[in-house]
Structure formats: structure tokens, C-alpha cells
Amino acid sequence: MADITKRSVDYSRWYLDVIQAAELAENSPVRGCMVIRPNGYSIWEMMQRWLDDRFKELGHVNAYFPLLIPKSFLAKEAQHVEGFAKECAIVTHSRLKTVEVDGKITVVPDPASKLEEELIIRPTSETVIWDTYRKWIQSYRDLPVLINQWANVMRWEMRTRLFLRTAEFLWQEGHTAHATAEEAREETLKMLECYRWFAEDILAMPVVCGAKTPRERFAGAVETFSIEGMMQDNKALQAGTSHDLGQNFAKAFEVKYQTSEGTEEFVWATSWGVSTRLIGALIMSHSDDAGLVIPPKVAQRKAVIVPIWRDDEGRDLVLAKAKELQEMLKPAIGFVQIDDRDNMRPGWKYAEWERKGMPIRIELGPRDVANDACVLATRHDGQKHQTPLSDLVSAVTGHLDRMQTELYEAALKRRAENTHRLETWEEFTALYEGPGGFAHCHHCGDTACEEAIQTETKVTIRNIPLDAEAEDGQCIRCGKPSSKRVLFAQAY
RNA sequence: CGGGGCGUGGCGCAGCCCGGUAGCGCACCUGCUUUGGGAGCAGGGGGUCGAAGGUUCGAAUCCUUUCGCCCCGACCA
């Protein structure tokens, strides 16, 4: 196992090393795609469980729409096609045939199977879903439609990074239809709040909720909202988005309903999503030079028992006790693995479980068995706690709760230390030539000014925070009047 | 798509300049001794040297083309 590059040496390298060391994912034979390994996928499964339960509590149901979309669908909403056309994979044929080239058998698309209408691999599902909703929605009695789907999508990105930006990724996309603009806006903000809750309470990652500027808006949305987290290198990561689509898609796909008064109206729409990018966010929020650190709420397995022995007698004794502990812990935290591999010594196992981010490690040797105790090690702070076996269950659950809280508090503290209110362009450029971070500044709202800031400093407006207070000021760059502060940062 | 670096057993690398029987460390397998923070000894298995052409008696090494990866740009949920 190669050593993990230190964060302080090379943050990007560290990020990739952690993914490799914790066996989360690896590159696939196809550029830009990734194999998500069991350790990584288990995190996604935990995320799915929390979110899916919450979506359903909020009244949504799941459905599944197809991977392939007729090419013509994408052209129906003007902004939408402009936003996604450049990154679509296209299916042109339905068969291969074998041919011999230079004495070798190879396969080529069979020209006879060329598709009459080419198909697009979905970069997002608005179009096929709205085409379907047209058939489902007739009356105000059919509204609202509150559907979510768990799916893969593909966006042919130029430059990719495991989890943060991959050509294919897994996500959920909610697509809702409403009778009024107010109701759609309410849904948009409700789901944004759902994402805030998930990021902060489950992922232990504080986020800033706000509205995107027009140039950062989703292609086809009237208004886009996002949650933005701060990574350990002080860069921002957009961790979830919720869009108010207005009537754009309803008009493009002619989705109308009859009101109780008998008039005909276009419906109002939202869409919202989070993706496997959140796994990247998680890594970059909490992990350290020893490897992965994740909050217990998304750890499928919360603890491992590492038995220690010197001889066969000790081995029998310790393993028997370990099995007792395993049974004892099961009702509280589920399956706990006993790492009884005897081709490696305890020190190796400690290091390995630390790399993989196991929240709690229970060390159990003959001495502990004799004392009715064990050593309980917590991953996030590296501490060891001598623990009587009679207190084990409460100690474990207590440490898990503490870990969840402390990870959030540490992330919050780090964000606070790297968040600034700036008034002048000199302060602004100095911040981003130096350590970087979040900057709350006034901005004129002009897109050209926003672009100039990005060109000059690589800093973008992440969002306009929902809790920004009205305050008269002057644009950080051009000095024109502004009525509230926006959030600036360098972003992934 | 532009600039730079790199492709040699699973991983990390040497060998290349100066062509001549593919090596090292880790991992893996077997055995013994070990086991409270990354064990030791002995034996063993595994590589068309990214790919394709070319030069040559002979290519990991020289030449040409090409593919992929990493970093920096451009681009971007």
C-alpha cells in the first residue's frame, strides 16, 4: 500500500490517494467513467436510504424513466438544448457486425442498423419526463405530481475527477408539477431545505443555501437554488441543486391542465437533484492524512472488532468473547465485523481500518478479556478509550453520536475561520491569491462584471444566500450600488 | 483542444542516454516462528515492457504513428 500523499503537500493527489486507499472507486476502461467499489457504493446506499425516506415523508413517490431519449426531445426547450448539447453521448446504431481487418477480427457498427432517429443518453431527464407528464396530467385534480427517480446520467465532460465530475454518475432527480407558481416555488425551497438538512445533519457538512445568478442557472430554469459546502482546501463545492422551472418545460411539452373554473393553464414545474458527487464532498470535508473519515450516519458498518492473541488458547478465549460483543452490539448498531485474519498483526489492521474510515475500532486482547474490558478507538480524533464491557453498548453509541457532532462542529469552525466579509477589491484579490475561502461581498448583479471577476481571479459567485440581509453597499469590483451581499469562492 | 510529465507483474519503481537471456521493493502463494500500532526467515508463482508500424542478426531501449493516465489551462453539474 503506497502512502497517502499529505493534504499539505498536494491536496488533489491526497484526494485521489484517499479514494484508492479506502477502496472507494477506480477509473474504468472508458475515460471519465468510474467503477464504484463496495466501500464507496455502501456510502451511496446509506445516502440513498436517508434521502429516499425523507422524500417519501415529504409526499414523493419513485418511478423510473428510460436511459435513452429521442434526439428531437432535447431540442424542444431552447435554453435546455443550449446547456446540454455539447456534452451528450449519441446512439446511432443498434447492432455490431464482425469484420476482418489485417487478419484480425474486430467489430464495427452495422451500417444496415443505423437508427432513423438517433438517441441521446440522458444528461438529465426533464425532456422524457415532461413528454410523459403531458399524457398524465389533464385536470387540476391530477396535481401535484411529485415523482423522484434514482438513475444514472451521462455528461461527456472534458476533464473528470473521481466522484466530483465523472462522465457517468448516479443521482436522484425529482420532477414535480404544480397548479400554481407559488406552489412550485414552495416545493423548490422545500427540497433545498431537505438537502440542507441532509448535508448538515447526516453528512456533517455545513452548507450555504442560496439562489444562483442567471449565468449559473440550470439550463431551462427560472431560478436555481444550491447548497454550497466548503472543502478542506477552502474551495466551494456545489452539493445539491433545486430548480424552479416555471412553465418553461410545460410550454415546450404542452403540459396543460384544466382548472376548477374550466380554464386551461400550463403547469408549473420543479426539478432537484443530488449525485455521487456528494461522496467527493464527504471525503473532502472530513478525511485526513491517514485516510477516509466519514460521519457515522453514512457508515454502513459502524465498528470493527480487532482481536489480539498470542497462542491458540488466547485465540479461542478472545474470539469467543469477540462473538459475545458482536451479538451484544448488533441490536444497537447492526453487524459488527470481527477481523480475525491471522496473516496480519494488529498494527497492520489498525492502519487499514483507519484508511477505510471505520468509525470505531474495538481492540480486544487476553488482558482485556481478563479485565472485562476493551480498548475503543475513535477514528475522527484518533483517541483510545479503556471501556468496561458492561458499558460497551452505551459507550459505542455515545461515541458515534459524539463523532457525528464533532465532525460537524469541526467543519463549521473551519468554514467560519475561512469566511470573510470584504469591502474592497484589494482585500478580495489578496484573499484569493492567498488562502482562499468564502467571501461575502456586495455585487452589482451585472453578468459582465461577474464574468470579469472570474476571468481575473477564477472566483465565482456561488450563490446569493437566502439569509442575506438587505444592506446598501457597493460592488466589490465595479463600485456600482448593491442591496445585498453574495457568496464568492473558487469552486470545484 | 493547447502546454508539461508519465506508461515496464496487483501497486510503486529501476533498466532506456550507450540495442545483446526483464530486474528490485511491497503485495500474493507455501511452511515455520510471530501477533497490545504497519512482523521475521526460507521457498515459490506471476510481466506479449500501453498499442501498431519501422530500422536491425537482435528492440523495454533507436525512429514514426497512435492510445491512455496525471498536472496546468480552455470547458463544465
**DSSP string of A4-23?**
PPPTTT-HHHHHHHHHHHTT
pLDDT of residue A484: 93
pLDDT for the residue numbered A464 = 96
Confidence (pLDDT) at A492: 87
Q: Which phi and psi angles does A302 have, rounded to 5°?
A: -95, -25
CA distance A17 to A289: 10
The grid coordinates of residue A268 equal 408549473
3-state secondary structure of A276: coil
Compute the residue count for chain A: 492
CA of A258 to C1' of B72 (A): 56
Is A301-399 CATH 3.40.50.800? yes
Nearest protein residue to nucleotide B10, judged by CA and C1' positions: A1
Bases of strand B lying below 7 A from some protein CB: 1, 11-12, 26, 28-29, 34-39, 68-77
**What is the model's pTM?**
0.95
Q: Return d(Cα A376, Cα A397) in angstroms, integer.
A: 12
Maximum distance among all Cα pairs of chain A, rounded to whole angstroms: 84
Instruction: State which residues of chain A have pLDDT below 50.
Output: none
A11-73+125-286 CATH fold: BirA Bifunctional Protein; domain 2 (3.30.930)
User: Above 0.85 for ipTM, yes or no?
Assistant: no
H or E element in which residue A208 lies: strand A207-211
Residue A344: which nucleotide is closest by CA–C1'?
Answer: B35
Q: Calculate the CA A349 to chain-centre distance.
A: 29
Judge whether A283 and A205 are in contact, CB under 8 Å: no
Distance A368 CA to B75 C1' (A): 58
Q: Specify the domain boundaries for CATH 3.30.930.10 within chain A.
A: 11-73+125-286
Instruction: Give the orientation angle of helix A425-433 with respect to helix A447-457, to 10 degrees.
Output: 40
Q: Which among A348, A376, A357, A222 is positioned nearest to A300, based on CA atoms?
A: A357
Residue A363 has a CB neighbour count (10 Å cut-off) of 18
Residue A108 CB: number of other CB atoms within 10 A?
11
Taking the C-alpha atoms of residue A426 and residue A448, their distance in angstroms, rounded to an integer, is: 20
Which nucleotide lies at the shortest CA–C1' distance from A27?
B69
Distance in Å from B67's C1' to A29's CA comes to: 12
CA distance A408 to A204: 4
Per-residue pLDDT at A2: 57
CATH 3.40.50.800 maps onto chain A at 301-399
Q: Hey, how many other C-beta atoms are within 10 angstroms of the C-beta on A492?
A: 17
User: Which regions of chain A carry the CATH code 3.30.110.30?
Assistant: 419-489
CA distance A233 to A13: 12
Q: Which CATH superfamily is domain A419-489 in?
A: C-terminal domain of ProRS (3.30.110.30)
Residue A421's pLDDT is 96
pLDDT tens-digit map of A56-91: 999 999 999 999 999 899 888 888 888 888 888 888
